Amino acid sequence: MSYLPYVIGAYAVFVVVLLWDFLAPRLQIRRELRAARLRAQRVRRPAAADPQGELSR
């Protein structure tokens, strides 16, 4: 009996789970930094806009 499919299957599971473990924090770090950048832009934008725009006629 050939055990090759079982060996390949087991090593594939190992690689796939570790790949997920490698990628998941990287994506989360990228998401956090992007959120921080967008937050900073939101804070800066009203200050850059015309302060009298909507309220003065």
Residues lying near another protein in the complex (CB under 8 A): 1-4, 6-7, 9-11, 13-14, 17-18, 20-22, 24-26, 28-29, 32-37, 39-41
- At its nearest, how many Å lie between another protein and the CB of residue 57? 34
Q: How far apart are CA 42 and CA 5, in angstroms?
A: 54
Residue closer to another protein, measured from CB, 5 or 53: 5
Residue closer to another protein, measured from CB, 47 or 55: 47
